C-alpha cells in the first residue's frame, strides 16, 4: 500500500523563508494572514488530504465512476469525502467573502491543489472544475447570475463544469457547432454535443452548473464568434433549490487510461435553457479566465503526483535489499544492501526530489504573483505580476506535467517489477499523470502559446519580467559562496536567451521555424525558471546554515545539495535542447505526408 505525508516542512520553507508570507500579509485584504494562520490552514489541508482523500485513491481507480441510464455513480466513499472537503471550507478557500468564500490567498490555493493532486487527482477534478466555473462567473457573470449561482459554487453545494470540446473540435475551438438561440426572454436555447466533459454528470451534488461554449445565430466565424453560456442541470427555483430538469443529459462516460474515478462525460444539450456569461461572441475571453487558472492547476497535477511517487519510491529504496554497494557492503548484517546505495537509483530519486522542491517553489511564486494581481494597490506592480503570470502559465502547465509524468515513471522504475504490479500503487501515478499533458490545451499547444503569443507580446515586455530579475539574481550571486550555482544557472539562462533570439529572428521569416522549436524552448524555459527558484532557495538555506541551523542543519544542507544537483545534473539538458533548436525545422518539415 502506498503512503503519503504532506511535505509540510518543505512547504513552510518555501512559503515562510523563501517567498515570505509577510509579503502576502502586506497586501490589502490579507492583513489577517499571519504565519500562524497559514500554518493552521496547512495543517487542516494536510489532515483532510492524508486521512480522507488518499485512502480513496486506489479504490477510486479500481471501481471508477460508472454510468447507467444517464446517472453517474462515483466510487464508494467519494460522497462522504466530498462532504468533509466542503465542511472544511476548501471549495471556497480563496473565493470572494461576498459569496461566502474565505478570501484567503491564491498562494494557499496552490498548496491545496498540490496536496489534493498528490492524494487523489480524480477527486480533485470535481472541486477543480467548480472553481474554474466560479472564476469565470465571478469575472463576467451578470449580477442576477452571480446571485443565483456563486454562493452555491463557493460552498461546493453545487458543482461546475467547463464544456468546450466537441467530437470534431478540441484544440480548434473556432469550429465548434453547439448553437445558442435566443429564447425571447433574455435566455437562450442551447443545442449540441460536447465530449470529454470532466464531472459532466455525477452524484456528489444535487445540481451541476455547466459553462458551455456555443455560437449565437449571428456569430462571426472562428474564435471571434464564440459565446459562453451558463446551463444548469436543474433550473433553480425562486428559493434557490434545484427545480425543473434542464435539457442536458449524459449519454456516456469514457473508459480511460487513468483518473478513472473522474467521470469524463459525453453530454447532449437539447434546447437546454442557458444564460450568457459576458458579452455575445466574447466567450473565449471569459473562458480564458477559467483556462488560465485551470492550466496552473493542471501543472500542479504533474507536481502533486510526482511528490507522492517520490515519497513511496524513497521509502522503497530504503527498504528493498538487492545487491551490494559498488564500494563494498553498506549493511554487512543483511543479505544485501538497500537499493538506495546504488548511484543509478539515487540518480532517479534526486531527479524527482529536485524537480518536486524546485517546481513547488516556482508554483507558489506564481500563486503569490496572482495575489499581487488581485490585491496590490499599485497598478504598475499589478501589471508586472500579470505579465509574469501570463508568461509562466504555459511553462508551469507543460513543463510540470511533462516532468511530472517522467518523474512518476522513475518512481515506478525504482520499484522494479513491483512497480508494474497494481497493488503497489505506483503504476496508477503513471497512468493518472499522463492526461495532464493533454487536457487544458496539449503541451504542444502550450509551447505554441509561449512562442507565438507570449514571446512577442507587448514588444517583449512579458519576457523582460522574467529575464530582468533572473539576470539580477545571477549577478547578485556570482561572487559569493554560491557562485558555482550562479555560474551554472547563468549558462542555462544564456541558452534561453539564445533560443529566444533565434526563434524571434527565424520565426519572423518562417512561422514553421518557431513551431518546430517551441517544445524544446518551453523545456529550456522550465529548466531555467526552476533553476532560478533553486538559487533563491540555496541562498536562504546557506544563510540559515551560516547563522547556525541547529537541528535543521541536515534540512538546509539537503537544500544546498539538491540545488547543486539541479544546476549541474538537470539544467545542462538546456545545452542539448538548444542544439536541437539551432538545427532548425528543415528536417521536420522536409517530408511530404506520404513519405513518412
Ligand X SMILES: Cc1cc2nc3c(=O)[nH]c(=O)nc-3n(C[C@H](O)[C@H](O)[C@H](O)COP(=O)(O)OP(=O)(O)OC[C@H]3O[C@@H](n4cnc5c(N)ncnc54)[C@H](O)[C@@H]3O)c2cc1C
Binding site for ligand X (CB under 6 A): 162-165, 170-171, 196-198, 256, 264, 435, 438-439, 441-442, 444-445, 448
Dist CA 23 CA 13 (whole Å): 15
Nearer to ligand X, 107 or 443 (CB): 443
Dist CA 326 CA 556 (whole Å): 28
Query: Please, what is the end-to-end C-alpha distance for the chain in angstroms?
Result: 45
DSSP per residue, 15-68: IIIII-HHHHHTSTT-TT--HHHHHHHHHHHHHHIIIIIGGGHHHHHHH--EEE
Using a 10 angstrom Cβ sphere, with 0-12 exposed, 13-18 middle and 19 or more buried, the burial of residue 293 is buried
Nearer to ligand X, 164 or 563 (CB): 164
Active-site residue, from 166, 384, 440, 513:
440
- Residue 374 makes CB contacts below 8 A (sequence gap 6+) with 29, 106
Grid cell digits, residue 239: 428559493
Largest CA-CA distance found in the chain, in angstroms, rounded: 83
To ligand X, the closest distance from the beta carbon of 136 in angstroms equals: 13
Q: Are 119 and 77 in contact (CB under 8 A)?
A: no
Nearer to ligand X, 411 or 441 (CB): 441
To ligand X, the closest distance from the beta carbon of 361 in angstroms equals: 28
DSSP per residue, 207-233: -EEEEEEEB-TTPPSGGGGBEEEEEES
Residue 440 designated active-site: yes
Radius of gyration of the chain from Cα atoms? 24
Using a 10 angstrom Cβ sphere, with 0-12 exposed, 13-18 middle and 19 or more buried, the burial of residue 251 is middle
Count of Cβ atoms closer than 10 Å to residue 475 Cβ: 11
Nearer to ligand X, 120 or 198 (CB): 198
Q: Are 495 and 524 in contact (CB under 8 A)?
A: yes
Q: How far is CA 550 from CA 59, 279, 430, 546, 556, in A?
A: 43, 59, 38, 11, 10
To ligand X, the closest distance from the beta carbon of 301 in angstroms equals: 11
To ligand X, the closest distance from the beta carbon of 259 in angstroms equals: 6
Dist CA 468 CA 390 (whole Å): 16
Nearer to ligand X, 165 or 470 (CB): 165
Nearer to ligand X, 443 or 542 (CB): 443
To ligand X, the closest distance from the beta carbon of 495 in angstroms equals: 23
Nearer to ligand X, 173 or 181 (CB): 173
Closest CA to 309 of 358, 259, 353, 340: 353
To ligand X, the closest distance from the beta carbon of 165 in angstroms equals: 4
Nearer to ligand X, 165 or 401 (CB): 165
338: left (phi over 0), alpha (psi -120 to 50) or beta: beta
To ligand X, the closest distance from the beta carbon of 438 in angstroms equals: 6
Nearer to ligand X, 122 or 312 (CB): 122
Dist CA 192 CA 76 (whole Å): 32
Dist CA 204 CA 83 (whole Å): 8
To ligand X, the closest distance from the beta carbon of 187 in angstroms equals: 22
DSSP per residue, 533-580: HHHHHHHHHHHHHHT--GGGHHHHHHHHHHHHHIIIIITTHHHHHHHH
To ligand X, the closest distance from the beta carbon of 533 in angstroms equals: 28
Instruction: Give how far the C-alpha of residue 128 lies from the chain's centroid of Cα atoms, to the nearest Å.
Output: 10
Q: DSSP secondary-structure letter at 88?
A: T
Beta bridge partners of residue 345, listed in sequence order: none
Dist CA 187 CA 168 (whole Å): 27
Three-state DSSP at 205 gives coil
Nearer to ligand X, 266 or 562 (CB): 266
Beta bridge partners of residue 160, listed in sequence order: 209
Nearer to ligand X, 40 or 171 (CB): 171
Dist CA 462 CA 484 (whole Å): 28
To ligand X, the closest distance from the beta carbon of 197 in angstroms equals: 5
Q: Are 400 and 303 in contact (CB under 8 A)?
A: yes
Q: Which residue is nearest to ligand X (CB)?
A: 170
To ligand X, the closest distance from the beta carbon of 167 in angstroms equals: 8
Catalytic residues: 440
Amino acid at each position: 500500500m502506498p503512503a503519503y505525508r504532506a511535505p509540510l516542512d518543505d512547504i513552510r520553507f518555501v512559503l515562510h523563508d523563501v517567498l515570505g508570507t509577510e509579503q502576502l500579509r502586506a497586501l490589502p485584504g490579507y492583513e489577517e494572514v499571519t504565519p500562524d494562520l497559514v500554518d493552521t490552514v496547512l495543517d487542516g489541508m494536510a489532515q483532510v488530504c492524508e486521512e480522507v482523500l488518499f485512502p480513496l485513491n486506489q479504490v477510486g481507480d479500481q471501481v471508477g465512476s460508472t454510468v447507467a441510464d444517464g446517472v453517474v455513480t462515483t466510487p464508494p466513499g467519494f460522497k462522504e469525502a466530498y462532504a468533509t472537503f466542503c465542511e472544511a471550507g476548501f471549495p471556497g478557500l480563496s473565493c470572494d467573502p461576498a459569496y461566502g468564500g474565505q478570501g484567503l490567498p491564491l498562494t494557499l490555493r496552490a498548496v491545496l491543489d498540490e496536496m489534493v493532486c498528490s492524494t487523489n487527482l480524480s477527486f480533485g477534478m470535481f472541486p477543480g472544475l467548480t472553481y474554474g466555473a466560479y472564476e469565470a462567473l465571478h469575472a463576467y457573470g451578470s449580477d442576477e447570475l452571480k446571485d443565483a449561482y456563486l454562493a452555491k459554487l463557493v460552498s461546493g453545494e453545487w458543482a461546475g463544469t467547463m464544456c468546450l470540446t466537441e467530437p470534431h473540435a478540441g484544440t480548434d475551438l473556432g469550429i465548434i457547432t453547439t448553437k445558442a438561440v435566443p429564447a425571447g426572454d433574455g435566455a437562450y436555447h442551447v443545442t449540441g454535443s460536447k465530449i470529454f466533459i470532466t464531472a459532466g454528470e455525477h452524484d456528489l451534488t444535487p445540481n451541476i452548473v455547466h459553462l458551455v461554449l456555443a455560437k449565437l445565430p449571428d456569430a462571426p466565424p472562428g474564435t471571434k464568434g464564440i459565446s459562453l453560456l451558463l446551463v444548469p442541470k436543474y433550473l433553480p427555483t425562486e428559493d434557490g433549490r434545484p427545480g425543473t430538469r434542464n435539457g442536458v443529459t449524459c449519454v456516456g462516460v469514457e473508459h480511460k487510461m487513468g483518473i478513472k474515478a473522474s467521470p469524463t462525460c459525453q453530454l447532449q444539450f437539447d434546447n437546454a435553457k442557458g444564460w450568457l456569461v459576458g458579452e455575445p461572441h466574447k466567450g473565449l475571453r471569459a473562458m480564458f479566465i477559467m483556462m488560465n487558472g485551470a492550466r496552473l492547476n493542471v501543472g500542479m497535477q504533474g507536481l502533486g503526483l510526482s511528490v507522492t511517487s517520490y515519497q513511496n519510491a524513497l521509502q522503497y529504496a530504503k527498504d528493498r535489499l538487492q545487491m551490494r554497494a559498488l564500494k563494498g557492503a553498506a549493511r554487512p548484517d543483511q543479505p544485501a544492501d538497500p537499493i538506495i546505495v546504488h548511484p543509478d537509483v539515487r540518480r532517479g530519486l534526486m531527479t524527482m526530489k529536485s524537480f518536486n522542491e524546485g517546481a513547488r517553489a516556482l508554483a507558489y511564486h506564481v500563486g503569490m504573483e496572482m495575489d499581487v494581481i488581485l490585491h496590490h494597490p499599485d497598478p504598475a506592480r499589478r501589471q508586472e505580476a500579470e505579465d509574469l503570470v501570463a508568461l509562466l502559465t504555459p511553462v508551469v502547465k507543460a513543463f510540470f506535467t511533462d516532468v511530472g509524468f517522467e518523474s512518476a515513471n522513475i518512481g515506478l522504475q525504482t520499484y522494479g517489477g513491483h512497480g508494474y504490479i497494481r497493488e503497489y500503487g505506483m503504476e496508477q501515478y503513471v497512468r493518472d499523470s499522463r492526461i495532464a499533458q493533454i487536457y487544458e490545451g496539449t503541451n504542444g499547444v502550450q509551447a505554441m502559446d509561449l512562442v507565438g503569443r507570449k514571446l512577442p507580446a507587448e514588444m517583449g515586455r512579458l519576457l523582460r519580467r522574467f529575464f530582468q530579475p533572473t539576470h539580477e539574481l545571477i549577478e547578485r550571486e556570482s561572487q559569493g559562496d554560491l557562485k558555482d550555482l550562479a555560474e551554472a544557472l547563468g549558462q542555462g539562462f544564456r541558452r534561453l536567451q539564445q533560443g529566444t533570439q533565434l526563434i524571434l529572428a527565424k520565426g519572423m521569416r518562417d512561422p514553421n521555424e518557431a513551431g518546430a522549436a517551441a517544445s524544446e524552448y518551453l523545456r529550456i524555459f522550465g529548466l531555467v525558471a526552476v533553476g532560478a527558484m533553486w538559487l533563491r532557495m540555496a541562498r536562504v538555506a546557506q544563510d540559515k546554515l551560516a547563522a547556525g541551523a541547529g537541528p535543521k542543519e541536515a534540512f538546509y544542507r539537503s537544500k544546498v545539495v539538491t540545488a547543486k544537483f539541479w544546476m549541474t545534473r538537470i539544467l545542462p539538458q538546456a545545452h542539448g535542447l538548444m542544439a536541437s533548436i539551432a538545427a532548425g525545422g528543415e528536417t521536420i518539415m522536409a517530408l511530404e505526408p506520404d513519405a513518412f
